[in-house]
Amino acid sequence: MAQLADHPLAAKLFPHLSAEALKQHFMAYDGIPAFQSDAMMRACRYMLQHTVTSFTCSGQQHLDGTPTLFISNHRDIVLDSLLLQYQLITLGLDTTHTVIGSNLYEMPLMAQLARVNKMIGIPRHSGGKAFYHSMMQLSALLRQLVCDQHQSVWIAQRNGRTKDGIDRTDPALVKMIARSGSDPVSALHSLHITPLSISYQWEPCGPQKARELCLRRQGPYTKIPGEDTQSILSGLTAFKGHIHLTVCPPLTLSELQATQGQPAHVARLIDSRIALGYHRFDTATFAAHLLAGTLLPSTPPAQQFLHYLDQACASNPGLPHYRRTLLSIYAGIPCPDGDPQA
């Protein structure tokens, strides 16, 4: 806790406390719920106040305290899960455990936050028998938390953030989740799977995501030291406009029976829920216009989007198809390689 209190962000959240008083305040937290309801809620309110025009949520009737496995689309490293926790605390409900990539533990701040925010590390860059064993352990842990300990869990629909604007659930995730039960359908149904769909008017780290996609087309991509840390800070501090969180209806037994527990079919069922709950903001409409070569409306929001696009392109010169890649992220349309207009 003392290390968290020393972080510059803590001083912004508690401007009325001196450095020593802030450290004492952090050390006085009596467990995870106290830390989350005070420090993490302050962080979320600060972010909403300074970087968001509005945050809305629909489907709150599905947040009824039932132990749940939330499967979410994943656009930002921290915010996607944080906003669910904010909504749960606001409703007086317990927060969830959060599954994150173990690579994030390499960042001192995330390693400290993980210990006081019920985070679970999942291997990101391993393979073979060790990876299979760790997936089996995670599957068993998810079942233990939800079914035996009656606690909810948040997990992303795929490994890593969606960078191309197209939200798809990895069937391997469904296969992993189902392995801990006697049969896939009953195993999945007992976890009370509830998809989440989170939508951002201004894509968190949008210009950076477009840059990475362009570089990946040229060859293997290796993150530079501190890149994930910068993405987290950018997601928290950059302007995001309107954010909407949809808590989708849980998957029913009859729906799961219709899939026969086949991972690809269950993944498509989750995707359909997320797609129905996704809000397409004006930025998506503007991007679709530009991709189609049609004129934008002469409105201040449209001009703001053009200015944003021009700035992003100017900051990433020399990357083939960068402009079209960034537009495709917003429009949710696959970006074909080799487009001469990009």
Residues 188, 299: one domain?
A: no
293 and 200 in one domain?
no
What band does 300 get if pLDDT is binned at 50, 70 and 90?
very high
Whether residue 164 is found in the same domain as residue 246: yes
Number of domains within the chain: 2
pLDDT higher for 110 or 38? 38
Residues 297 and 189 reside in one and the same domain? no
> What CATH number did the domain enclosing 134 receive?
3.40.1130.10
Integer Cα distance of 286 and 300 in angstroms: 12
For residues 132 and 245, membership in a common domain is answered with yes
Quick check: is 109 in a domain?
yes
Whether the full predicted model's pTM is greater than 0.85, yes or no, is yes
d(CA 268, CA 258): 12
Read off the tokens for 56: 């809305």
In a domain, 145, yes or no: yes
Task: Say if residue 290 is in the same domain as residue 200.
Answer: no
pLDDT digits (tens, 9 = 90+) for 137-173: 999 999 999 999 999 999 999 988 999 999 999 999 9
The answer to whether 61 touches 176, Cβ cutoff 8 Å, is no
Instruction: Mark whether 174 and 311 lie in a shared domain.
Output: no
104 within domain boundaries: yes
Q: Residue 109 has what pLDDT?
A: 74
pLDDT in tens, 87-109: 999 999 999 999 998 878 777 77
- Residues of the chain above pLDDT 90, percent: 69
DSSP output for 201-264: SS-TTHHHHHHHHHHHHHS---PPTTHHHHHHHHHHHS--EEEEEEEPPPPPHHHHHHHTT-HH
Coil/strand/helix, residue 280: coil
| Most confident stretch, 16-30, 36-50, 228-242, 246-260 | 246-260
Residue 339 predicted with pLDDT over 70: no
Core vs surface per residue 58-81: b (16+ CB within 10 A) or e: ebeebbeeebbbbbbbbbbbbbbb
Look at residue 194 and tell me if it is in a domain. yes
Which domain range does residue 151 map to? 55-204+240-279
Q: pLDDT tens digit string along 18-51?
A: 888 888 888 889 899 999 999 899 889 999 999 9
